[in-house]
Amino acid sequence: MSKKDTEKKLKQFSVKGIKEVFNGSNRVFLCEMVDESSEKKILSIYKPIKGERPLRDFFVGNLCSRELAAYEISKQLGWPNLPPLVNRDGPFGFGSFQMFIDHEPKYNYFNLFDGFQKQLKE
For residue 120, what pLDDT is reported?
Answer: 67
- Angstrom distances, CA of residue 93 to CA of 56, 69, 75, 89, 103: 23, 19, 26, 5, 27
Q: In what order do the strands lie in the sheet with 85-90?
A: 14-21, 28-34, 41-48, 93-99, 85-90
pLDDT truncated to tens, each residue of the chain (122 aa)? 889 999 999 999 999 999 999 987 899 999 999 999 999 999 999 999 999 888 888 777 888 999 999 999 999 998 878 899 999 999 999 999 999 999 888 877 777 767 677 776 77
